[in-house]
Amino acid sequence: MSKQVKITVIGSNMIDLTTFLRRFPQKGETIFGKEFQQGFGGKGSNQAIMASLLGAEVTMVTAVGKDSYGQEWLDHYQEEGIATDFVKVAEDSHSGVAAIWVEPDGDNRIVISSGANDELSVDHIQETFEQLPPQDIILSQLENPQESILEGFKRGKKMGATTILNPAPAEPLLDEILEYTDWLLPNETELAFLAKEMYGLTVEDPIELVKEFATLANINMVVTIGPAGALLYMPNENRPVVRVETVSVKVKDTTGAGDAFCGSFAYGLASGWEPEAAIKLANVLASDSVQKIGTQRAYARDEHLQYLIKQTF
């Protein structure tokens, strides 16, 4: 393993309420589920957990409700070794909840009720960074207000941290946010949305699209492309788009796989690895997670995690 690195995640928390179905219902239809699970999720928290499992010193900047779920989150972060000094407890809001449907092939549909996640204010970010020691990585997603993410990235850049944005769920970005983002990590669908929204690009070939988008935005990019792996492009490097392949596995549940990828990539980058090496590990850990049911509970741990790392390199 590499040196211990410091990663701050400005991100969400969600209690995942997951129902496993034989098929998705039609409009107005009621069907029976096969199985139900409740677990810890939210893109930011998932990514924080993955980075922590790999050995990073992770600080979580988020907001929970003053309810039973909020207390469960505080306990859970501490059990996972994640610092909770900057977790805000929102007095008048519920903790975030995600209703998740999963089909037998692992495909999913997710509906988010953000709750306290929307209470992660710019003021709270400012107060956090006034106390936060220097970090290697500031990592965020789009399940919290973009104004707060932008403030965190600005302050992260001032302290010398590398900033990584996973633009999910896909939505129009604030004009300034990419200016303060070192790495953008979308999937194919999110890239297509942003490319059309920001630059009017409708290129179908993902390799050409990532090249055009990254060049226009002047930003380093990693685009996950499902079972085909991931694409890497750095517009200021004299090299073509690189595809980093992944392993073929039997899929049970894709929920949280993208977060496993982002948390792993952030860890690798913070550790000083070449981007291809960070992507290689991220591919392996994301592929491992889809072979199990759930989000954080599906992430590799302990001896199995060490085995996967050794097999990867």
- Identify residue 224 by its one-letter amino acid code: T
Exactly one of 16, 253, 259, 288 is catalytic; name it. Answer: 259
Gap between the Cα atoms of 12 and 123, Å rounded: 17
Gap between the Cα atoms of 197 and 109, Å rounded: 23
Token pair in block for residue 187? 């999937």
Task: Write out the E strands in the chain.
Answer: 6-10, 14-20, 35-41, 57-65, 83-90, 97-102, 108-113, 137-140, 162-165, 183-184, 220-224, 230-233, 242-244
Cβ atoms < 10 Å from Cβ of 20? 18
**Is position 259 annotated as part of the catalytic site?**
yes
- Contact at 8 Å (CB) between 141 and 47? yes
- Among all residues, which ones are annotated catalytic? 259
